[in-house]
Amino acid sequence: MMEAVARQGMVLMGCGKMGSAMLAGWLKGSLSPKAVWVKDPNPSDWLQASGVQINTDLPDAPAVALIAVKPQMMGEALPQMSALGGGDTLVISVAAGTPISKFEDTFGADTPIIRAMPNTPAAVGRGITAIIGNAKVTETHLQLAEDLLSAVGQVVRLESETQMDAVTAVSGSGPAYVFHLIETMAAAGEAEGLSPDLALTLARATVAGAGALAEEAGEGPDQLRVNVTSPNGTTQAALEVLMNEEDGFPVLLRRAIKAAADRSKELSRD
């Protein structure tokens, strides 16, 4: 699939943290910098040294146009790319809260458009991205999007765009929940007599290690939890607090994820 990108080229609109992470992955692979055109108002030193074509005239029919600008910049960015609509160029958006219909207004309903929701661990190649396409998207388009987005982690396909709000709430916003868990674990460790540095080191490594184990183990997270919980031991004492159905993790996370999903729906309507 990437042969088409190498032959026809691709356009990257926006090269901030997410755009840079993806571009670095592509260039680390087999994609030549000469096949990439980047539009960015403030190109970083790394971008300028990468060998890609920056803020020049765009090719007439690139294989892919990937939009990685912030939602508030969309009104300025999209008109610069509208000429790429209506043809064979696949448009991929990683902009949060912007529905496919918004891009169809700019590029036309005959344009294949894929909406993608990555998350911030993409910066270290450990992200996960959910994708969904409009009616013009084919299996070939989806496979091409997967090839490109897998440069920064896993890729999953959705059944409908309505699922994107839940994806935003779980994986899009999810890293912030985990970072807050690390914060609160470290603070609790301090309260029990650990130094701030030691508490943070323990909390950070524990969360990172548990996440890696959850991904690689053949057992589900429920069984992994059971495996580390001795009857009447320290872990059970903690879990009796955390798993309380009145004010523990189950209640708090359901409320938190619902709040994020509801806000995502509101932003999509703005």
Known binding residues for NADPH: 55
Q: Give the pairing type, strands 10-13 and 127-133.
A: unpaired
Q: How far is CA 130 from CA 26, 182, 221, in A?
A: 19, 25, 21
The answer to whether the beta carbons of residues 42 and 17 sit under 8 Å apart is no
CA distance 78 to 7: 24
Rounded CA-CA distance 73/80 in Å is 12
Binding-site residue set: 55, 68-71
Both structure tokens of 59: 């090719």
Distance CA 82, CA 59 (A): 13
Binding positions for NADP(+): 68-71
Would you call 9 helix, strand, or coil by DSSP? coil
